[in-house]
Every structure is written in C-alpha cells, then in structure tokens.
Copies of this chain bind each other. A is one copy, B any other.
Amino acid sequence: MSTPRADGFRMSGEFEPHAGCWMAWPCRPDNWRNSGAPAQRAFAHVATAIAEFEPVTVCTNRADWPQARALLPAHIRAVEMASDDSWLRDQGPTFVVNDFGDIRGIDWQFNAWGGMYAPHDQDALIAQKILELERLPRYACEMVLEGGAIHVDGEGTCITTEECLLNPNRNPGLSQDQIEAVLCNYLNVERVIWLKHGVYMDDDTSGHVDNLCCFARPGVVALLWTDDAADPQYARSHDAYARLSETQDARGRRLQVVKVPMPTPLHLTADEVAGLSPGAIARRPGTRLAASYINFYIANGGIVMPAFNAPEDAAAQRIIQSLFPERRVIPVYSREILLGGGNIHCITQQQPA
C-alpha cells in the first residue's frame, strides 16, 4: 500500500477547480425532524445553488431515490447509494490530484464522529462506492478521520483541531506525531497547524475545523469571530487567531487571518426538538447551535454560504465576498442543516477537476 505523497498526489485546495460536488440526501428521522422533509428542502436548495457553478451528484438511499429525484432539479444527478446519515464531507472520500491531472481518493476509516451515531456501516462504505462509481483509484487509510476535520491550502499546509484529532474517540492508539505523519503522507502536506478547539457546542463533530476557519486561498484564512468576551466562543476564536497569526505555512508565509463575525447565538426550539424521532442523540430545547458562516462551500466561480436570518448575515456575506472577489456569493438559509449538526460545507465534498 502506497500513499498519495509517495505517488506524487496531494489534496488540492477547495478553491482550485472542481469536476463537481457530491452530497447525500438526509434520511435519519432521529437527526432530521419531521422525517427529514424540511432538511430535504434545504439540501435541495444547497444542491441547486451549487449546481449554478458545477455538476452536483446527490446520493440517496434506495427508498428515497424516487422522492429525491422528484424534488431535485433535473440537472442534478441523483444516484442510489446507501447511507446512515448525510454528511458527505465526512463520509465521502478526500480526493487527491497529481501534476498530470490524475485523480485518486482517500478512504479514511469512519467511526461516525467518534461513535456518536449507530449504525454507521453504510456510511463507512460511501467513500469506496463513490471512487468506484467514478472509476478512481483508492487509498485505504487505517486512520479514523472525517473530511470536515481538515482544511488544506493545496501548497503543503493543513489546519486541524486538537479537540477532534486528539480525541480518544477517534484514534486512541495514535500519538499526535503519528497522526500528523499520516496527514503529511496522505494529504501530502509538510506543515500541520494545530488549533486547540473548534466552535463552541460543535460537540457532534468534536470540533471540526471546517466550522471554525478555512483557507480562502494560500496565505489567507477566514476565521469565525466574536468580540463578546462573555461568549464561550470568544476564547476559542481568540486562541485560534493567536495560533494562526503566530505560525508560518509550509511556504514560510505569515497567514493573513480575516475575521468573520458569528451570528447572534441561535438555539434549538421546543418545536424543532418535537419533530425528532427518538434516536442516537438526545436534543434539548434551548441548546445553543454551533452556527457559523465559515461553513460555506467554495464552488467553481461561486460561494454557497449559510444564512440564518441573523443580523450578522449581511456583514458576513460582505466579508466573504471580499475574500472571493471573483466569485458570486449565494447565501442559502440553512437553519435546518444546522439543526442536524452541521452546515453547507459539512454536507458537500468537492471532486477536483
């Protein structure tokens, strides 16, 4: 078994050109209220927005295929593929590219975010099935990892969080150095920037980095921000800011960190909780949601970003637009996705061109 690094492949930045985008249709009634109907509409809105920029494929369980096909616009491809839940960022492969335009994929071990959800045997097959569908070679990696736990600049730098990657619910037998070595060999990076925490209350993912910060391009990082010292997110964002600002990337650059305000805190309502079937995780009314504008998807020529009908929506959009002056920014109201424990970036996976 070789590795992407040994074979000259690297994970490209999300801002590099895509062949398309993968998603999965929400299905679990214990995680998506009202049997998933509101989430399905939200997913369809996201898919439709992304499809303005690049081809989109939505994977659906057998029973959901006719309904997904009917709800999605005809130009979005609906493909039958069993899943336990619908976070393609985490279940899907991490694609890698070489200098000759070849594409392969990494199939990480998947344990449902440290065992948060059962069953997850079908989710664990998705990366392999997608690579098979696309006739792309596959690197099977022994390490547990989800795509939402990493961001790369495509030029040798990875950002991740200790909260997630060092959590004993993922790879208890691996040291930080060993985990970093796997990241370096599979993503083909030389520099791993370790942030301490993800976003406050992002417990379902153990603090995935993709809800907290991301590369807008090499050398530039967008970071979820609050100036409210009383907010639990304050220390997390400030610590991340300090770590990002004080380090260098793989090319020796100082990172420019652009602050994106977080929305005024949002909380689960009793009505929302009432729509859930009993299941994996007990959700309680009043629980704070890990809402973040950072959880956007970078498409070919576009950005599809979360909107919450919050006072900060407009400012966040303005800042994100300034980070991507060449791309058209489409906000999609995504509270329903947030209720499931993630957002637009979490439910998407880019396939490089």
Contact = CB atoms under 8 A, between A and B. Distances in A.
A62 B79 contact: no
A66 B132 contact: no
Nearest to A79: B133
Contacts of A125: 65-66
A129 B80 contact: yes
B82 A80 contact: yes
A267 interface: no
A81 interface: yes
Contacts of A69: 128, 132
A5 interface: no
A120 interface: no
Nearest to A82: B62
Contacts of A135: 55, 77
A176 interface: no
Contacts of A80: 80-82, 129
Interface string A293-335: 0000000000000000000000000000000000000000000
A256 interface: no
A122 interface: yes
A78 interface: yes
A128 B69 CA distance: 10
Contacts of A61: 62
A79 B57 CA distance: 15
Interface string A75-102: 0011111100000000000000000000
A132 B78 contact: yes
Interface string A29-64: 000000000000000000000000001000001100
Interface string A213-250: 00000000000000000000000000000000000000
Nearest to A134: B77
Contacts of A62: 61-62, 82, 122
B122 A77 contact: no
Interface of A: 55, 61-62, 65-66, 69, 77-82, 122, 125, 128-129, 132-133, 135
Given A77-B133, A80-B81, 17 more contacts: A55-B135, A61-B62, A62-B62, A62-B122, A65-B82, A65-B125, A66-B125, A69-B128, A69-B132, A77-B132, A77-B135, A79-B129, A79-B132, A79-B133, A80-B82, A80-B129, A133-B133
